[in-house]
């Protein structure tokens, strides 16, 4: 009898050791960070694929099912995932802990006056595309680490070690990126959507104009003409855009100006060149080769 | 003095902050348009008719961490009304149950729970008009929703109990509605729906649903002998609706989608039929079994444009006076509809312009068929405020 009890206790302890923290993230960038920190001690899934526009994700019951039995739901915040709350409600998961990674981010483009539809899809709490600055990625990684430790304190040392190692790798890559971008400081570019402010600030790039007349508003012929003038007058050589947007208008601008259109993934898995956050940033930095 | 001024400013700031953070979300949907018809012998044939504007104001928010509440105040046909008013407990209940209680669009089929402004087409399916009401199946009651424990696909079941007055519209015209409600008395109806949702690939999803609704539809004094000197017999007229619905969506990228959607209903209900034995008019309780269905396809291309068509069929005649004894619910008459549309959405769902054409064709068993009714309609829909995305 005593032996059976010991065996049972051992099995239960083993079960606890192998229990994974279940996490669902809104974007693949966050799930990449979770995987780097939690490794085999987490089970992570995401909602928005890397090649999808995170502003517009359909409310699907299968997404609710993904969230139904998880411990953590981690999001970018700042209104990027307007669809997230409907999924959380639909999941009926009353034990779910929601982590908003934007809390400690130094936010940009926070409106100081009342926002309305005349300004396009302006995010009322600030521009949410902060993960494109690797310094912000470090803040996100630390927040995720804290959330995993709070959920699974028994493995705190493991998460801290992985976090430290990942941040170390990120720091090394940031030095590379900084060196590659040093000669590009002050260069002007055109971006499709107003999603590059954090990236541009980090590397001293100037977004001189947008293909969209206003955030979320489809390009128009008259606005294209304005952008063409900006490109010509400033000698701009690069139109940078997310690969889920239509490249019809950027290609037209490029044909008439000689600028280069560079379509890139801004989320992990968004293209074969972006299997991880670090690889994704590598491919974005490559856009500036030769300009 | 400075201290008081500071406190006043602080209080004001807190009040303003509290107002903006505590207030529920308020959004407004407006619909307006013009139409014309090309129906033979119609006095308005070829004339432009400006339709009355319709407004839906949605107020919604969380009551507490477990429950939400919403109200939809509508302005339609020149009067205000409460279209929906409910509380919705979304989590914290045993078995992960959700409870919705109040007045709301009943989950019979997929389309009925979606407000018309979010439909791809302009015209309500014909069988909704015959078997529900001109405004769909909208009733007072409670719905209990469960997710079934399947890991590989989403499957849910909804069970509801409702007052049943909404369906009284299917057996009474507007001016006899109150009398029909009185006859019916307090006899709740039951509604249930099972749905399964299947992800076929990253780009395509499929949903299948089966609904059932049943209960007492009406009580009528029936003269079984035709002898008016003898008392009539009060007969209960029951009904049972069975519905099947599906929706398939293929969305290969952010700019393109194809939606194929359809629903069908099988109506089993008691009706009163009158016939003459040569001397008296005798009434008999009869039972009819009729159907209705629609199928639509909507193709969204280039982000801002959509084009689609719908085929509609129902027993009963659209535009006829509904009633237990009239042709409106008879099993001998049919209406068929063909609809086509082009939609233009300049900026997401904030504004929509839709040009649609509908042709209704009638088949009457006892008498000549009415002329086909052909209508062209231009509709504008706008959405103001934080209106949330519609689920699949």
- pLDDT tens, position by position, A67-126: 999 999 999 999 999 999 999 999 999 999 999 999 999 999 999 888 888 888 888 899
Question: What's the gap in Å between the CA of A53 and the closest CA on chain B?
Answer: 7
Q: Verify that A26 and A163 share a domain, yes or no.
A: yes
- Per the structure block, which two tokens stand in for B307? 């084009």
Cα dihedral angle (A206, A208, A213, A215), rounded to 10 degrees? Answer: 10
Q: What is the ipTM of this complex?
A: 0.86
Who contacts B351 (Cβ-Cβ below 8 Å, separation ≥6)?
B345, B380, B381, B382, B383
Q: Are residues A209 and A149 in the same domain?
A: no
* Dihedral (Cα; A51, A108, A74, A133), 10-degree rounding: 60
Contact A117 B202 (CB under 8 A): no
Output the pLDDT for position B8.
Answer: 46
Same domain, A128 and A235: no
Residue B191 is predicted with a pLDDT of 98
> What domains can you pick out in chain B, each with its CATH number?
25-384 (2.40.160.10)
- Let me know whether A236 and A95 are in one domain: no
List of chain A residues whose C-beta atoms are within 8 Å of the C-beta of residue B253: 244
Residue A108 lies in a domain: no
Domain harbouring A69, CATH code: 3.40.50.1980
User: pLDDT by residue for chain B (392 residues), tens digit each?
Assistant: 444 454 445 444 544 444 456 789 999 999 999 999 998 888 889 999 999 999 999 999 999 999 999 999 999 888 999 999 999 999 999 999 999 999 999 999 999 999 999 999 999 999 999 999 988 999 999 999 999 998 889 999 999 999 999 999 888 888 889 999 999 999 999 999 999 999 999 999 999 999 999 999 999 888 877 777 778 888 999 999 999 999 999 999 888 999 999 999 999 999 888 888 788 888 888 889 999 999 999 999 988 899 999 999 999 999 888 877 666 667 889 999 999 999 999 887 889 999 999 999 999 988 899 999 999 999 999 999 887 778 88
Q: Could you tell me which of A231, A244, A242 has the C-alpha nearest to residue A192?
A: A242
The shortest CB-CB distance from A218 to any of B207, B303, B388 is to B303
Domain of residue A279 covers: 183-286
B254–A53 CB contact, under 8 Å: yes
> Are A58 and B350 inside 8 Å of each other by CB?
no
What pLDDT score does B10 carry? 46
Put simply, the answer to whether B199 touches A60 (Cβ < 8 Å) is: yes
The residue to which tokens 């192998």 are assigned: A18
Which pLDDT value is given to residue A7? 61
Q: A65 and A26, same structural domain?
A: yes
Residues in chain A: 291
Neighbouring CB atoms inside 10 A of A287's CB total 18
A167/A81 same-domain check? yes
Query: Structurally, how many domains does chain A consist of?
Result: 2
**Shortest CA gap B23–chain A (Å):** 16
Contact (Cβ atoms closer than 8 angstroms) between residue B285 and residue B222: yes
Q: Around Cβ B332, how many Cβ atoms within 10 Å? A: 14
Q: Give yes or no: residues A143 and A10 share one domain.
A: yes
Chosen for mutation from A45, A57, A61, A217 (greatest number of chain B CBs closer than 10 Å) is A61
Query: Which pLDDT does position A14 carry in this prediction?
Result: 52
Q: Are residues A10 and A83 in the same domain?
A: yes
State how beta strands A97-100 and B25-37 pair: unpaired
A194 in a domain, yes or no? yes
B348 chain-A contacts, CB cut-off 8 A: 121, 216
Pairwise CA distance, residues B25 & B18, whole Å: 14
Interface probe for A, chosen from B20, B303, B348, B351 (most Cβ of A below 10 Å), is B348
A220 versus A141: the higher-pLDDT residue is A141
Co-location of A192 and A170 in the same domain: no
**Interface of chain B toward chain A, CB-CB under 8 angstroms:** 66, 68, 90-92, 96-98, 147, 153-154, 156, 197, 199, 202, 205, 207, 251, 253-255, 303-304, 346-348, 350, 384, 388-392
Length of chain B: 392
pLDDT, one tens digit per residue, over A10-41 is: 555 555 556 899 999 999 999 999 999 999 99
User: Which residue among A176, A200, A220 closes a domain?
Assistant: A176
Please indicate, yes or no, whether residues A169 and A224 belong to a single structural domain of this protein: no
Residue A34 falls within a domain, yes or no?
yes
Q: In what order do the strands lie in the sheet with A21-25?
A: A42-46, A21-25, A72-75, A97-100
Beta carbons of B154 and A246 less than 8 Å apart = no
Judge whether A140 lies within some domain. Answer: yes
What letters, b where the CB count within 10 A reaches 16 and e where it falls short, cover A117-143? beebbbbeebbbbbbbbbebbbbbbbb
How many angstroms separate the CA atoms of A91 and A84, rounded?
11
Out of A161, A176, A191, a domain closes at A176
- Pairing state between β B334-344 and B79-89: unpaired
**Whether residue A160 sits in one domain with residue A209:** no
Q: Which of B92, B155, B252, B254 would you mutate first to test chain A, the one with the most A CBs within 10 A?
A: B254
Q: Choose the final residue of a domain: A127, A156, A176.
A: A176
A242 sits in which H/E element = strand A238-242
- Comparing B42 with A273, the larger pLDDT belongs to A273
Q: Is residue A291 part of a domain?
A: no
Whole-angstrom distance, CA of residue A54 vs CA of residue B348:
15
Same domain flag for A151 and A256: no
Q: How far is CA B358 from CA A25, B112, B122, B217, B316, in A?
A: 45, 20, 9, 31, 18
Please state, in angstroms and rounded to a whole number, the distance separating the CA atoms of residues A123 and A232. Answer: 30
Between helix A277-286 and helix A156-181 the angle, nearest 10°, is 10
Amino acid A4: pLDDT: 66
Name B105's Cβ contacts closer than 8 Å, sequence gap at least 6.
Answer: B84, B112, B113, B114, B115, B136, B137, B138
């Amino acid at each position: 009898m005593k032996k059976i009890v010991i065996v049972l206790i051992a099995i239960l302890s083993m079960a606890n050791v192998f229990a994974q923290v279940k996490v669902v993230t809104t974007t693949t960038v966050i799930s990449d960070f979770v995987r780097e920190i939690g490794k085999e001690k987490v089970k992570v899934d995401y909602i928005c694929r890397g090649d999808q526009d995170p502003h517009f994700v359909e409310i699907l019951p299968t997404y609710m099912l993904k969230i139904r039995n998880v411990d953590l739901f981690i999001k970018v915040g700042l209104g990027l995932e307007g669809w997230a709350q409907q999924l959380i409600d639909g999941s009926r998961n009353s034990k779910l802990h929601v982590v908003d990674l934007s809390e400690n981010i130094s936010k940009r483009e926070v409106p100081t006056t009342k926002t309305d539809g005349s300004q396009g899809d302006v995010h009322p709490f600030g521009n949410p595309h902060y993960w494109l600055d690797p310094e912000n990625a470090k803040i996100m990684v630390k927040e995720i680490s804290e959330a995993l430790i709070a959920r699974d304190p028994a493995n705190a040392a493991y998460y801290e070690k992985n976090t430290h190692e990942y941040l170390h790798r990120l720091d090394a890559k940031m030095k590379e990126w900084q060196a590659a971008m040093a000669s590009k400081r002050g260069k002007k570019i055109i971006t499709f959507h107003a999603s590059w402010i954090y990236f541009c600030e980090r590397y001293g790039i100037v977004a001189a104009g947008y293909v969209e007349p206003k955030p979320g508003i489809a390009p128009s012929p008259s606005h294209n003409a304005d952008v063409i003038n900006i490109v010509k007058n400033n000698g701009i050589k690069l139109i940078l855009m997310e690969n889920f947007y239509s490249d019809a208008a950027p290609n037209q601008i490029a044909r008439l100006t000689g600028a280069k259109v560079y379509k890139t993934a801004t989320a992990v898995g968004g293209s074969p060149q972006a299997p991880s956050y670090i690889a994704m940033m590598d491919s974005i930095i490559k856009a500036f080769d030769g300009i | 003095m400075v201290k008081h001024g500071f406190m006043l400013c602080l209080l004001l700031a807190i009040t303003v902050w509290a107002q903006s953070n505590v207030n529920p979300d308020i959004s407004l949907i407006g619909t307006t348009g013009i139409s014309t018809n090309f129906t033979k012998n119609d006095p308005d044939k070829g004339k432009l008719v400006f339709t009355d504007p319709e407004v839906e104001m949605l107020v919604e928010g969380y009551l507490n961490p477990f429950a939400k509440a919403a109200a939809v105040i509508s302005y339609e046909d020149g009067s205000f009304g409460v279209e929906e008013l409910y509380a919705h407990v979304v989590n914290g209940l045993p078995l992960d149950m959700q409870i919705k209680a109040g007045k709301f669009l009943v989950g019979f089929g997929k389309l009925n729970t979606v407000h018309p402004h979010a439909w791809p087409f302009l015209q309500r399916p014909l069988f909704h008009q015959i078997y529900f009401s001109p405004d769909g199946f909208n009733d007072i009651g409670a719905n209990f929703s469960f997710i079934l424990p399947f890991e590989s696909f989403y499957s849910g079941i909804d069970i509801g109990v409702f007052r049943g007055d909404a369906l009284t519209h299917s057996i009474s015209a507007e001016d006899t509605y109150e009398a029909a409600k009185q006859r019916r008395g307090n006899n709740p109806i039951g509604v249930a729906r099972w749905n399964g949702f299947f992800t076929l690939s990253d780009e395509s999803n499929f949903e299948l649903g089966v609904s059932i609704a049943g209960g007492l539809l009406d009580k009528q004094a029936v003269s079984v002998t035709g002898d008016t000197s003898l008392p009539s017999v009060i007969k209960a007229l029951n009904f049972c609706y069975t519905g099947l619905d599906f929706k398939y969506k293929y969305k290969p990228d952010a700019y393109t989608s194809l939606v194929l959607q359809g629903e069908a209903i099988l109506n089993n209900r008691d009706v009163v039929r009158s016939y003459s034995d040569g001397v008296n008019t005798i009434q008999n309780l009869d039972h009819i079994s009729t159907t209705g269905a629609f199928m639509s396809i909507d193709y969204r291309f280039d982000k801002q444009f959509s084009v689609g068509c719908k085929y509609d069929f129902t027993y009963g005649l659209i535009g006829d006076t509904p009633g237990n004894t009239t042709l409106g619910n008879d099993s001998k008459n049919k209406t068929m509809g063909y609809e086509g549309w082009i939609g233009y959405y300049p900026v997401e769902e904030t504004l929509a312009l839709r040009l649609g054409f509908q042709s209704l064709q009638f088949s009457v068993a006892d008498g000549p068929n009415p002329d086909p009714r052909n209508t062209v309609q231009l509709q504008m829909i706008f959405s103001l405020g934080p209106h949330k995305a519609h689920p699949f």
